Amino acid sequence: MQQVPLDTFSIKLSRLFTAYFILILLSSLKLSAGGGGSGYSRFGVGDIRYFPNERSAAMGGASIALLGTQSISTLNPAAWTQLHRMRFSIGAAYEGYTMNDGSGSSFLSDARFNGVSVAIPISTEDGVILSTGLTPYSTVNFNSGRTGNEPNYTYDLKQIGEGGLSNAHLGFSAAFDGTWHFGVKFNYLFGTLKHITEQNFTSPELTDAEVRRNTRMNGASATFGAIFSGVGELFNLPESHMLTIGTVFTTETRLTTLQENFYKYSVVNLIIGRDTIHVTEGTSSLPLAAGIGVSYTLKERFVLSGDLYYQNWKKFTLLGTHPPEYRDSYRISLGGEFLPRKEVAAAFLEKTAYRFGVFYYASKLRIAGTGINEIGITGGLGLPMFGETRFNIGVEYSIRGTMKYEKDNILRVVFTLNSGELWFVRPPEE
Amino acid sequence: MKRLRECLQLYFFFMIASIALFSGCSDDASTVGSALFPNNVHVDSLFLYADSSATYRTAIAGNSENLVVGLYQNTVGLYQDTTEARLLLQFSIPFGIADTNILSAEVKLIRRYWFKDPSGILAFNIHKIKRAWSEFAVTFDSTNNAFYEPEMYGTFSQSVSPDDTLIVAQLNTALVRNWVRTRESNNGIILVPTEASTVIYGFTSSPFLPELFLRHVVPDSTRRIDTTIVPILQDAFVAYAPPHDSSPQLIYVQAGVADRGILHFDVRAIPDAASIVSAKLTFVRNSALSVQNELSIHSIDVHPITDTTQGSLRLGVSDIAKPVAGGTSSEFTANINTIVQQWVIGRPNYGVALRAFGEFSTLDRFVFYGATADSLNHRPQLRIIYSIMH
């Protein structure tokens, strides 16, 4: 394969962006325990993070039927079959919440690591790709406070949430007949959910207390995916028009759960006692999930995609108990991408991918009969760097909830570095 | 050039946007969204009377800033009691003094405390201590007749009043000459009160007090008379009072002797993992039987009892109980939330011990009503406010 040499300027610019991204990533690691987020993350296992990959993050989340040569999908393993190089992606995310409940408003923000994935082609002809990765599955991140009043004394009460579940996956894909794409991945969910309650009295003579409830969970599931990319042929569409449909199914996840409460008592910041009380051990159950999608690609430049993703949260249990606030959830995602030119010699802005999307998410929560829904718009860029490397930026703005409890205006910005190499790829035999 | 300009613009845009995004600008925790959180804090209270009380005695050596000596007896009336205190002194005889030239020896004491009455007769005899002793370990029982020689090396008997701040006792110079000749024989002196004594005085103890003044002839050609102030090496007092009436209705807390009180409360009704916000301990003094004056320290140390094995009680770090209205109030209170919290998290509950705050420097006597006092209002009480967080 003949490669066009990069000029000095492009190399320098690419290095600038690489350095910039590393700085962001380090900042996100440092800030991962930052200011806080939405109070809705206190329920169950936290806010479920819907991030199939950096491309679909800017396309409203649409990805189930989306084949691609660069992005590694963490939602549908069948989408890996077109990865003809070893791909590596790593990302960071920023989230800013402006919250309002009619009594006032508050702004909390946080930055965190957003996952790493690797895909290694085993057989590019047959679309056999091996992929592994570590991505966040859910996030518990809230910071709320109020004042308690009792006869003769007052106290400040803080509720702080940290932690979440992560997903380590390992899977592979295969393609048949060039139009059927299948994939399976095994998911290992693990992590600790931390809920901290602090009671601090204004009088220095009274005992302050802190209880830290740690819920440790781990369990496994499997995801099966399929994409049929020959729909265009069925409708006799020209070759430049590709129509695909896809589906994905994730099994129920049974999580081994251990919940412990740690108590700390202090007077004038001097710790006077600690205690640990084991609350319970048992199992929790994350429900199955399923989705269908369709995508349309024109001349490999313009893509439209749409998904419907459903999860059976009515079956969710936490230590054997189904919380009453849970209902089934579904998400409708629509998005598009425009890539003017793919040639290496093309101009920088012509090689940039432009993405947009919208989504509607009827979340898993229904509190006292009021469903918590989210609607948002997305946009982003896939900036070419050197070789097969792209620096992707996705911005999402959404509104969630109700003023009755909490209305969130959420700004999410995701930075992902996606790179590709010819490692492990054997050239076709002549 | 145009491309460079465009790219630099893009670069700086991202940098500025990142600085804005990652500047860490978050509000503090607020009440927004608090309706999403359950009221998982429950505050409750518990009122307890002491289920048992007692008095116990522990032998101590008074080696603090006061040195007490004297005898007080009350053999008439409803409340008869006796308290005796003995004073031990050991001076460091300097070199350069010739034993044959000692003209006089005086022990000078600066008064700063008295027990019971300030006016009366202070009388004591001075004896030579026969063996080595430690100011940290000597007890009243160890100062028996085998501890000191029966021969008296000085006496003191004087009517005293609050105006008498300086007490001077003459010491037989033969004793001092013996210390000069044979330094190993210097185990100090003990001041033992006589039956004539009607008061107990406390004297200042510091690195420079008490003092032994020696007038002696300087062994040179001038033969002039000089005065040498001999510094104190170690000092202590030991005290005794007969065991008190073992009535369970009363608790005796006396410094110097020393008597201590024990109170026990059954806190098992407090749920596990409760945070003890406040635990107010209240006990009431019997003023008729208590002996304090304007020089007394009106505070009681309240210690958790941490161990009862090995024949003695081990005590933890204390809280301080003070009179409610200050000074002579009969009701003492202390917030012992740290002590009760230890019981709630699983430490053994052996109760609390009451100690006089001036236990090593006074003879103040506090008598409190016990767990079986006739009046409920007099019984020791514990009011606990606790918080449960789910």
Instruction: Using alpha carbons, select from A402, A418, A307, A374 the residue that is nearest to residue A48.
Output: A374
Residue B341 Cα distances to B40, B282, B344, angstroms: 20, 17, 5
Query: B338 — contact with chain A (CB < 8 Å)?
Result: yes
Identify all chain B residues contacting A13, using CB atoms and an 8 Å cutoff.
7, 11
CB–CB of A263 and B273 under 8 A? yes
Q: How buried is B27 (Cβ within 10 angstroms: 0-12 exposed, 13-18 middle, 19+ buried)? A: middle
CA distance B132 to A376: 89
Q: What is the pLDDT of residue A3?
A: 46
Instruction: Using alpha carbons, select from B121, B168, B141, B139 the residue that is nearest to residue B63.
Output: B139
Query: B19 — contact with chain A (CB < 8 Å)?
Result: no
Q: What is the pLDDT of residue B362?
A: 87
CB–CB of A207 and B277 under 8 A? yes
Please provide residue A339's backbone torsions phi and psi, each rounded to the nearest 5 degrees: -120, 100
CB–CB of A42 and B341 under 8 A? no
- pLDDT over 70 (residue B23): no
Residues 347-386 of B with CB under 8 A from A: 385
Q: What is the pLDDT of residue A30?
A: 40
Q: Select the residue of A20, A94, A142 nearest B21 (Cβ to Cβ).
A: A94
Q: Select the residue of A31, A263, A347 nearest B22 (Cβ to Cβ).
A: A31
CB–CB of B32 and A144 under 8 A? yes
Residue-wise pLDDT tens for chain A (430 aa)? Answer: 444 444 555 565 566 556 556 655 555 544 443 477 888 999 999 999 999 999 999 999 999 999 988 899 999 999 999 998 899 999 999 999 999 988 888 888 888 899 999 999 999 889 999 999 999 999 999 988 888 887 778 899 999 999 999 999 999 999 999 899 999 999 999 999 999 999 999 888 889 999 999 999 999 999 999 999 998 888 888 888 899 999 999 999 999 999 999 999 998 888 888 888 867 899 999 999 999 999 999 988 999 999 999 999 999 999 999 999 999 999 999 999 999 988 777 888 888 999 999 999 999 999 989 999 999 999 999 999 877 888 999 999 999 999 888 999 999 999 999 988 776 555 555 4
Which chain A residue has the Cα nearest residue B338? A272
Which chain B residue has the Cα nearest residue A272? B338
Neighbours of A26 (CB within 10 A): 11
Q: Could you tell me where the DSSP H helices lie in A149-292?
A: 231-234
Identify all chain A residues contacting B43, using CB atoms and an 8 Å cutoff.
148, 150
CB–CB of B273 and A146 under 8 A? no
Residue B266 Cα distances to A240, A336, A372, B48, B284, angstroms: 85, 71, 49, 8, 19
Identify all chain B residues contacting A206, using CB atoms and an 8 Å cutoff.
277-278, 337
Model pLDDT for residues B181-232, shown as the tens digit of each residue = 888 789 999 999 999 999 999 998 888 788 899 888 887 778 888 888 888 8
Neighbours of A64 (CB within 10 A): 32
Q: Select the residue of A104, A261, A413 nearest B21 (Cβ to Cβ).
A: A413
At B298, list the tokens: 């009106």
Q: Select the residue of A144, A199, A413 nearest B29 (Cβ to Cβ).
A: A144
Identify all chain B residues contacting A18, using CB atoms and an 8 Å cutoff.
none
CB–CB of B32 and A406 under 8 A? yes
Cite the beta strand spans of B285-380 per DSSP E: 300-307, 314-315, 319-323, 331-335, 352-356, 365-369
Q: In the predicted model, what is the mean pLDDT of chain B? A: 85
Picking from B23, B30, B318, B338 by the largest number of A CB atoms within 10 A of its own CB, the best residue to mutate is: B30
* Structure confidence at residue B18 as a pLDDT band (50, 70, 90): low
Residues 241-280 of B with CB under 8 A from A: 272-273, 275-278
Identify all chain A residues contacting B16, using CB atoms and an 8 Å cutoff.
none
Identify all chain A residues contacting B28, using CB atoms and an 8 Å cutoff.
145
CA distance A166 to B97: 86
DSSP secondary structure string for all residues of B216-268: EE-SSTT--EEEEEEPEEEEEEEEE-PPPP--TTEEEEETTTTEEEEEE---T
Chain pair A-B, CB pairs under 8 angstroms: 159
CA distance A76 to B299: 74
Q: What is the pLDDT of residue B154?
A: 94
Please provide residue A394's backbone torsions phi and psi, each rounded to the nearest 5 degrees: -125, 130
Q: Select the residue of A104, A206, A273 nearest B277 (Cβ to Cβ).
A: A206
Instruction: Using alpha carbons, select from B240, B239, B298, B184 the residue that is nearest to residue B63.
Output: B239
CA distance B210 to B105: 13
Model pLDDT for residues B268-317, shown as the tens digit of each residue = 999 988 999 999 999 999 988 888 888 888 899 999 998 887 667 888 88
Model pLDDT for residues B218-273, shown as the tens digit of each residue = 877 788 888 888 888 999 999 998 887 667 799 999 998 889 999 999 999 999 88
Residue type present at position A384: P
CB of B68 closer than 8 Å to CB of B85 = yes
CA distance A340 to A346: 9
Q: Select the residue of B3, B24, B342 nearest A273 (Cβ to Cβ).
A: B342
H or E stretch at A17? helix A8-30
* Distance from the B272 Cα atom to the nearest Cα atom in chain A, whole angstroms: 9
CB–CB of B276 and A36 under 8 A? no
CB–CB of A211 and B3 under 8 A? no
CB–CB of B22 and A94 under 8 A? yes
Q: What is the pLDDT of residue A17?
A: 58
Which chain A residue has the Cα nearest residue B335? A205
Residue B110 Cα distances to A121, A166, B120, B161, angstroms: 96, 76, 17, 13
Rg of chain B on CA atoms, in Å: 31
CB–CB of A100 and B32 under 8 A? yes
Cα–chain-centroid distance for residue A256? 22
Which chain B residue has the Cα nearest residue A38? B33
Instruction: Using alpha carbons, select from A82, A75, A125, A48 the residue that is nearest to residue A291.
Output: A75
* Distance from the A238 Cα atom to the nearest Cα atom in chain B, whole angstroms: 37
CA distance B165 to A51: 87
DSSP secondary structure string for all residues of A243-283: EEEEEEEE--EEEEEEEEEEEEEEETTEEEEEEEEEEEEEE
* Distance from the B387 Cα atom to the nearest Cα atom in chain A, whole angstroms: 9
Model pLDDT for residues B67-91, shown as the tens digit of each residue = 999 998 877 665 667 889 999 999 9
CB of A242 closer than 8 Å to CB of A233 = no
Tell me the percentage of chain B whose pLDDT exceeds 70. 88
Identify all chain B residues contacting A108, using CB atoms and an 8 Å cutoff.
26-27
* Distance from the A134 Cα atom to the nearest Cα atom in chain B, whole angstroms: 24
Query: B25 — contact with chain A (CB < 8 Å)?
Result: yes
* Distance from the A254 Cα atom to the nearest Cα atom in chain B, whole angstroms: 25
CB of B194 closer than 8 Å to CB of B126 = no
- pLDDT over 90 (residue B95): no
Identify all chain A residues contacting B385, using CB atoms and an 8 Å cutoff.
150
